[in-house]
Structure 1
Amino acid sequence: MSAPVDEKKEKSFSTSDKPVTKTPTKTKKQTQSYSASDIQVLEGIAAIRHRPGMYIGSTSTSGLLHLIWEALDNAVDESVAGYGKNIWVSLSHDGWATVRDEARGMPFDLMLYQGDYLPAATVILTVPHSGGKFAEGAYKTAGGLHGVGSTVINALSEKLELTIWKDGQEFSQTFSRGTAMPHVITPCDPKLHGTQLRWLYDRSIFDVDAYYSLEAVESRLKAAAYLNRGVTFQLDAWDEVAEQQVEHIYYSRDGLPDYVRDLTTSTNNGTPLSKHVIGIVKEKDSVQVEVALQPTSGYKTVMYSYANAVRTRDGGVHETGFKAALTKVVNDYAIKLGVIKNREKDGFRPEVIQQGLNVVISVKLTNPQFQGQTKDRLNNGPVEGIVRSITDEGLKEWFESNSAAGKEWLKK
């Protein structure tokens, strides 16, 4: 029996019907022209002010804090290179922020740029991707890499005051929303050296509720002291709760072990299962690796990772390498110490091994590849294997020398 025929459908496909041609109606969108006159070219300061999120992540509190981190990273880079042991950070109640170091001082001798001779410092603050960290060997390790940090601070500030002490001269220059005002050079005490950036962020760019979180700044400076042993960080900041200026000094003699001890006491993550913090320090293929960890009776994993003293919030290859080595060595010694019999059936899963662990991972390398300007993730492929190898070797040495503490950790 043949299927019923839909006459309307059959008629619509009939070859005897002549096709009806309709003239398309032009919409408003289709009639708008699109030509070279519609193309805009934004460069330098204008580009940063137009799309600030591309450089600082957001225009909220986290983005505002990123201005401080950029200035701080530059000061730390100088200290790590051997220039200066003190860094000052100041936050006032009216929104001004100041970061000062006692390093070599930003150069301000004249340089030729686009047909004009300008002080080098002026170029650094007004031209993205300008700076002294591109030349091979200029810095062995650096957190500020792209030559945009100082420019971003300037571009996103209502007003910025730059002061440099160098070779018996004081260079000072004011910038208004990124535009340079005339500079002044005067004599100063030859013993003075360093750079100071003082800025008032542009409220027309940042969110209304954006603010400098004192807690976040304190945490960052404390971590910076642990990551850069021997460098003193001095904070003078307005405390909204106490309604007064407060002062703090951050300094660490032991570095990452101090950091982990602080985590153990501040995170309420159980009691330590080993008397001393496990410390691993080694350099391989020009990559400096330092790991400090301490297992506890708790169940929360507290892990912080850094690359060139910059916090990598989203981890990266250094965290991956550490976790791989940790899983392998812990299972190796679980079998060796008789805690488990069969790796395939009884082996500990990575997430179980990491429970109750307080750990800080730090790598320092010449050309780190960060994911974006906010530097939240490290992507250098070879670093994973280097960290895995060094962690593997260090953990094995610890287990061999601390079998009793190791067994207690494994039994947990």
Structure 2
Amino acid sequence: MKKDYEAHSLLKKLREGNCSEEELAFLRAWLNQYNQSGPAGLGDEEFLSSSVKMWATIDRSVLNKSRMVYIRRVAAIAASIIIVIAVGLIFWFNRAGNDASVKTYAVNHIKAGSNKATLTLANGETIDLEHAAKGALLSNDGYRAVKNADGQLVYQNTGGKAADKVSTAYNVLTVPFGGQYQLTLSDGTRVWINAGSTLHFPSRFGDGDRSVVLSGEAYFEVAHVYNSEGSRVRFTVKSGGKHPQSVEVLGTHFNISAYDNDDATKTTLLEGKVNIHAGSGPGSDKQRILTPGQQSIVDNADIKVVPADIEGAVAWKNGYFRFNDEPLESIMRKVERWYKVQVIFENERAKTKKFAGVINRFANVTELLKTLELTGEVHFNIDRDRIVVK
């Protein structure tokens, strides 16, 4: 068939790095069509490789053109509408005859998220990090906390009498809806924390194992630390909620998404190695080791390991939304957290409709909603801080 022939020709151009944005859009639709309706002459490995490479190419394009938006509705049988919107508003449709209209939105004051968080100390004292002055925020025996020039919170070991002991003074960093924040722990581990998340962590780590507790989503770059005997010190991230897990780390880069209202807890590994324990901790019977490029999905104490969509998992950290055949219900949960709004589905069937696309996370919410509307599959109303899905 002609479309299959064109797609295979474009796959060759993709491997050579010569695909235009319109050709990438066509290929993405074609791959998804045949992923659902037939193999189209592609083996699983070739299909996955082509899909991942295409998304990575699209992501780089979006980062280079901050106003670009790419959104489409995933069709069950035929290739669906593809929309590529760049600075000059370039439209390309894979399905003719669509006349999707974009609503005129009422003036609203919904803003994208920003760097904000509250630090709660072990004694119950709280610090509003968004408005706190830069410089030293607190100091105690063996550590101090500083808000640096970039507005990030940095804990530093300073020695002291108890510096070699495990600290029992846990602090809590709370990032509200409409926020994000970056933290450096006392061992040098860097943590990016997403909206609607909390991290419990010690004011300083001792010579033994390191442990933190996460609710929500965070990206970790764990520092390599060695004890007095020269052995590498383990780092553990515990997550509770509906799908509890414990992640044992030696030194690596990974993302954990563990929101209570999501269907599962997902851990995506970029570098190094982690051991995933489903349930309350290392004593759990179910565990899996991840290698780079893999993602674990913990659901009801079961662990499934799948190839990871790396760019999608860390898109929030890099400043954009990226949806890869994602149900609208999941997309709107992210919108709720980042824009600090309430989403109401009047159209229950819309929850399962899937979309794919990339958009700047700091764009106005109306830009995202209008782009979704251009598919002709969904409509929105904005009433102050409420978004109604029609």
Q: Normalising by structure 1, report the TM-score.
A: 0.23
* Structure (1 or 2) with the greater helix fraction: 1
* Structure (1 or 2) with the greater strand fraction: 2
Q: Which has the larger radius of gyration?
A: 1
